Structure 1
Amino acid sequence: MRNIKTPGVYIVEKNAFPNSVVEVATAVPAFIGYTQTASKNNKSVLNKSIRISSMAEFQSVFGFGASLQFDFAQAADAASADMSLDDKHYTVAASGNKYRLYQSMQMFFLNGGGPCYIVSVGDYTTDLAKDAMLAGITTLVEEQEPTLVVIPDAVSLAAADCYAVQQQMLMHCGSKMRSRIALLDVHNGFQDEEDSVAAFRAGISNKEIGDFGAVYFPWLNSTLFSHSDVHFGFLSDEGKAVLQAAINAELGAPDASSVIGKMLAGLTATETGDDDPTPEVIDKGLRASCITYPALVKEICSQLNLLPPSGAMAGLYTMSDNMQGVWKAPANIEVVGVTSPALIVSVEEQESLNVDGNGKSINAIRSFIGQGTLVWGARTLDGNSLDYRYVNVRRTMIMLEQSLKLAAKAYVFEPNDAQTWVTIKSMISNFLTGIWKQGGLAGTAPAEAFSVHVGLGETMTSEDILEGILKITVLVAITRPAEFIEITFQQQMQKS
């Protein structure tokens, strides 16, 4: 109170309410990977975290997706072939690096994504490298807002390097920051389930940090590319020669002066004359005149649309948080922009995915008749833990911890006395009451949902106060998903 020396009336205002706790953002992913460019305001932003909020903003800073070249070659037999026509078998494979960040960003925004961070670790002239991705993870240490870490390009590395990057993602989230979780993909998650899942579990350690990560299986067949987006320019020179030979065999060697002859000549010609057909005419003509070319276009389109699910899942996390809250498990929701999972996961197969002896639970993405493609799992990589088995429990705890941590900073260097303790207790209780009313905490009354303890003899000793330590204990009852619903039927006696 100020020193009063003059007679008069003085007004003193006192705060009637304690400071409030602001709920931190819960679904702000950070994506790491390779982009076409990395320039903002004519300045390089390579290896820097940039916040964006739309696909248009991503394109303005980081450009578009990479153009892939495909090899088209004859296969020895049907078992090793990607496509077969009559008694002829062919392999179709992308040559060079497979950059997946751009398509993953498209899936992120298609599925409800919003503000996020991008760390570009190289352009399309750079080879995919484990060390570059690890450096991108280190960059994120400076950012406090992200709550998810996603690296779709990791699966394009060799298996051992992919697991090393994913392990570092878990270390970053669980040991370093403890304010975010990692969304992981299964390397080669479009191939045999038993082999790819077993390799993933062998390559990833979940000791003490598994609850800071979640993994989804299998990969997804997206709808980002249509058949009209693919043309013969996607083929390598060797692939064009094989295609020419295949069409010749199908139609019989056409006269070089005919329309189809000119089309085939245009596939491998290094110089064109005024009378040569344009690429658009060649593409349209080949689609209409033979079977081999449309089948090849379909296979290339299928491979381009095959994507790991982490980008789409980051979008679904955002949508679920915005619509229902972080305490709602991000499961039993449809993945947008996909036709089907790359593999069909049966009930029996999901049993081994969901429950693992070492706790490395993997969340399945499955198709259901009349419902589309649904996320059918909500577990972390610490599936044996009763505390943090479920993704929404871990993420709710992160939200509560970070929100209260920021609010408590206002009381650093305040007197460590009863008045401060009461103020802090009231502030935290008001915040948790609001979370309980929204359905984030279990219990029929606030007293059943949480309790806050602070004070001398309750959470602190006299020595703690002398050392300047203020201890607060918060107990919360987090809502858990009804993962297993059992309905019991039995017959009863007829009563009339």
Structure 2
Amino acid sequence: MPEYLSPGVYVEEVDAGPRPIAGVSTSTAGMVGVTQRGPTDGKPKLVTNFLEFRTTFGGFLPEPDPAIRDAWAEDPTEGGRWWLFPLAVKGFFDNGGQRLYVKRVASATAQAASGTFGTGLVSAITRDAAAGAKVLELAHLVGFTGADEVKVFRGSDNVEIGTVTITAYDAGKGRVTLGTGLAAEVKAARGDYVQKAPRAATPSLRFSASSPGSWGKAVQVRITPSVSASLPVLPDPNEGPLFVTALAAEAAADATSIVVNAVPGLDPDDLPDDVWVLINERRFQVTVAQPEAGKVTLTFPDSPTHALWKPGLTVRRVRLANAGAGPKLRISGSSRLYEGAAAQLDTGDRLSTLNVVAIEPDDVVTFDADTPAQVFETARLQLVESTVDTRFTDPGGGSVTETFRNLRLVGDAPGTVTGTLASQSRLVRATALDLSTDPAEFPTPATGSWLSLADDGDDAFGGLDVGDFVGTDGGSGKRTGIVALEDIDEVAICAVPGVWAGTVESALVTHCEQLKDRFAVLDPRDGLDIEGIQEFREPFDTKYAALYYPWLVVNDPSTGKFVEVPPSGHVIGIYARTDVERGVHKAPANAVIRGIRSPGGIAQDVTKRHQDLLNPKGINALRFFPNLGQRVWGARTLSSDTSWKYVNVRRLFLFLEESIDEGTQWVVFEPNDESLWALVRQTIANFLTTVWRSGALAGTTADEAFFVQCDRSTMTDDDIANGRLICVIGVAPVFPAEFVIFRIQQKTREPQLV
């Protein structure tokens, strides 16, 4: 009860009446099968079209080796043609399916492909250069010093072109100047690169395919150092003011002093003894005289060589950032850094590698080594991290590429190489072995810059058995096989296409019977005759599954040949299409089968006389009719209970039960009295009225279509005392017009009297 303790205006929300029940989806399917690739752990993955399936799970599977194929295909009781699973998925989407959860099945002995990086320093050439050229443009200068001897390699075959020495660099443009010209031309498109020092075989980082199977041998990985941030170095606070001036008079070549205009800040009383200026991008040490008549004389103690300088040339002071070598610098934007970060200090004439030890107040950063003796405010501190590129070319067509930038090399938290790939990459996972924070010992393959994951990848189809399809229950997110479909409450139709093993199909039926919110479509063995399919059907008696016969004929895009495929994928697609177009109460029959060969898309011809034997036993036929095409011609379950012999009736009740279950959860722990009972009655009656108006229930009025009782007649005092609210619901489903009978008789003409 609300409390009113002081005068005032009180605004309260009041329930307006019964809460609406939303009907659950009935067209979401779940399938379990063998795929080329894709996750084997975690919950089933949702795909909404066949392209998305191929991106996640790969393309069509080739027929396995004859020994493995025959062991499965010729086993009448525990066999299957599991390699046809992708074709069944395609059939689902061809026939109107829109949402499919897929759980990949893999052999327990399958292994993921892998590869290991050593260490070294490699930088790709990013722009072509002719023989004799003395300038190269590189992907990065991380790990270089600016005065390095490097070897140039041809990327196509990793043959050495020659050895050159770097004499100068421009880190911003990735450009280096060489002491001697190139021995031969270099080409970026060929993958040419430079290498500093020999590569070491010491294992640093191991990559493996994200899931087991031989598919991973087609995966390639590249990891390169990258600059995530370039942060300005701040001047020492004791350095005094900045000034920018210009030459007041011409300065002869190699002059030991110059005259500049007096400007604020250019006063020897405000400046330290050690003053440096930039002229034509060169740095000079100067002493500052007292201003006279608006002019100031700057003297060069070192008598440097320089060209003739014209009046008006800019002279700008550059301040020191440190007072001698030491482990500390003030860095603008130091919040971008973190303890243990690798960094490279660019002073303009030298590149130095440093590691961040601590970040202190006032932007002071402490490193693990001393900085150069003179660091100016023009220097930049570059945060060194890594970029991982992956690529995979599907033998069946298509490709997948990924790029992950700004990754920390060390650690396994989010934002690191191992952590990011584990959570985001569809292709690879990484394991740190012996990583160094020194960019000169960066993870590098033995040759080139890309590493193929050529080790260990194996599908191990010889070790695949029916237990892999049934699966195990390791808890939410850790289930496998059929059991994993329990993780997805939205699944309403399920199948294991191409597998007729009794153990697997019994497990699928049991799965549906236990959860009581989904329906299974079973596949028979291929090539069965009329007697064979009747024998195959005999072990089943369930109202939660249906069986369709015979198999279908489709074109396999990977080979261009026609193959027979199990019907379950196509049929479940028809279930989903019918549910969307008409509703779950419409029998999924007398519907055209799409995506099969025309004509001849049904593997065996089923005649009316054949179906006279099959239909009473709950075997749904797939038939061809002239001028009507190839259609599903049956809608019966595998139940011996005639009340549940129709697929649409069983699935209608699954829809009603699940919708009411999810839509009345709010009732739990409410006061169990007449007001609650009335609210429950009205809530369910409103929902069933909507269902009746959609045509799913029989009756000319709502009272004829259903009833809802929830009162003293459905509950005793003992029920109420034990916390039980009992609501009795009755509905009249619509049954399909399976037999359409027209009785025609002769009528004798009777004369009419005028």
Q: Give the shorter-chain TM-score range.
A: 0.7 to 0.9
When residues 46 and 437 of structure 1 are mapped into structure 2, their CA distance, relative to the original with a 3 A threshold, is same
Matches within 5 A, 1:176-191: 176-188=514-526, 190-191=527-528
For 1:443, what is the secondary structure of its paired residue?
Answer: coil
For 1:321, what is the secondary structure of its paired residue?
Answer: helix
Structure 1 residue 10, shift from structure 2 partner: 4.2
For 1:21, what is the secondary structure of its paired residue?
Answer: coil
Deviations 1:148-167 (A, max 9, x none): 11111314xxxxxx122111
2:743 alignment counterpart: 488
- Contact kept, 8 Å, 2:63 with 2:83, in 1: the verdict is no
For 2:630, what is the secondary structure of its paired residue?
Answer: strand
Determine the C-alpha separation between the residues in 2 that align with 1:133 and 1:47.
15
Structure 1 residue 435, shift from structure 2 partner: 0.2
Determine the C-alpha separation between the residues in 2 that align with 1:325 and 1:463.
40
1:3 alignment counterpart: 3
- Contact kept, 8 Å, 2:33 with 2:82, in 1: the verdict is no
Structure 1 residue 353, shift from structure 2 partner: 0.6
Determine the C-alpha separation between the residues in 1 that align with 2:62 and 2:41.
21
Determine the C-alpha separation between the residues in 2 that align with 1:98 and 1:422.
52
Deviations 1:402-428 (A, max 9, x none): 110111211100000111111111000
Structure 1 residue 14, shift from structure 2 partner: 2.2
- Contact kept, 8 Å, 1:163 with 1:200, in 2: the verdict is no
Deviations 1:379-404 (A, max 9, x none): 0001x423111000000000000110
For 1:341, what is the secondary structure of its paired residue?
Answer: coil
Per mean C-alpha deviation after superposition, the further-off stretch among 136-145 and 2-11 is 2-11
2:509 alignment counterpart: 170
Structure 1 residue 170, shift from structure 2 partner: 0.9
Per mean C-alpha deviation after superposition, the further-off stretch among 124-133 and 433-442 is 124-133
Q: Does 1:68 align with 2:413?
A: no
Determine the C-alpha separation between the residues in 2 that align with 1:223 and 1:371.
21
Q: Does 1:385 align with 2:641?
A: yes
Matches within 5 A, 1:191-340: 191-195=528-532, 197-202=533-538, 204-206=539-541, 210-225=542-557, 229-230=559-560, 301-302=561-562, 305-338=563-596, 339=598, 340=601
Q: Does 1:130 align with 2:466?
A: yes
Determine the C-alpha separation between the residues in 2 that align with 1:483 and 1:321.
18
1:33 alignment counterpart: 33
- The structure carrying a bigger strand percent of its residues is 2
Deviations 1:53-105 (A, max 9, x none): 1111111111011123798xxxxxxxxxxxxxxxxxxxxxxxx9750110001
- Contact kept, 8 Å, 2:540 with 2:638, in 1: the verdict is no
AA matched with 2:744: F
Determine the C-alpha separation between the residues in 2 that align with 1:179 and 1:369.
38
2:716 alignment counterpart: 461
- Contact kept, 8 Å, 1:224 with 1:337, in 2: the verdict is no
Q: Does 1:58 align with 2:53?
A: yes
Structure 1 residue 325, shift from structure 2 partner: 0.3
Per mean C-alpha deviation after superposition, the further-off stretch among 472-481 and 52-61 is 52-61
AA matched with 2:666: A
Identity of aligned residues (%): 34
Determine the C-alpha separation between the residues in 1 that align with 2:92 and 2:25.
17
Structure 1 residue 26, shift from structure 2 partner: 0.5
For 1:387, what is the secondary structure of its paired residue?
Answer: helix
Structure 1 residue 131, shift from structure 2 partner: 0.4
Deviations 1:339-359 (A, max 9, x none): 321111111110111113xxx
For 1:31, what is the secondary structure of its paired residue?
Answer: strand
Determine the C-alpha separation between the residues in 2 that align with 1:59 and 1:429.
44
1:240 alignment counterpart: none
Q: Does 1:351 align with 2:612?
A: yes
Q: TM-score, normalised by structure 1?
A: 0.72
AA matched with 2:677: W
Deviations 1:453-477 (A, max 9, x none): 0122x11000111111111110000
For 1:100, what is the secondary structure of its paired residue?
Answer: helix
AA matched with 2:103: V
Structure 1 residue 337, shift from structure 2 partner: 1.4
When residues 8 and 68 of structure 1 are mapped into structure 2, their CA distance, relative to the original with a 3 A threshold, is closer
For 1:29, what is the secondary structure of its paired residue?
Answer: strand
Q: TM-score, normalised by structure 2?
A: 0.48
Deviations 1:108-135 (A, max 9, x none): 1000011111010115542442000000
For 1:20, what is the secondary structure of its paired residue?
Answer: coil
- The structure carrying a bigger helix percent of its residues is 1
Unpaired segments of 5 or more residues in structure 1?
A: 39-43, 72-95, 156-161, 231-300
For 1:482, what is the secondary structure of its paired residue?
Answer: coil
- Contact kept, 8 Å, 1:220 with 1:341, in 2: the verdict is yes
Determine the C-alpha separation between the residues in 1 that align with 2:748 and 2:578.
45
Determine the C-alpha separation between the residues in 2 that align with 1:102 and 1:328.
28
Per mean C-alpha deviation after superposition, the further-off stretch among 317-326 and 345-354 is 345-354
Determine the C-alpha separation between the residues in 2 that align with 1:70 and 1:169.
28
- How many residue pairs get matched? 374
Determine the C-alpha separation between the residues in 2 that align with 1:69 and 1:406.
44
1:371 alignment counterpart: 628
For 2:543, what is the secondary structure of its paired residue?
Answer: helix
Determine the C-alpha separation between the residues in 1 that align with 2:491 and 2:506.
18
Per mean C-alpha deviation after superposition, the further-off stretch among 321-330 and 96-105 is 96-105
- Contact kept, 8 Å, 2:546 with 2:647, in 1: the verdict is yes
1:406 alignment counterpart: 662
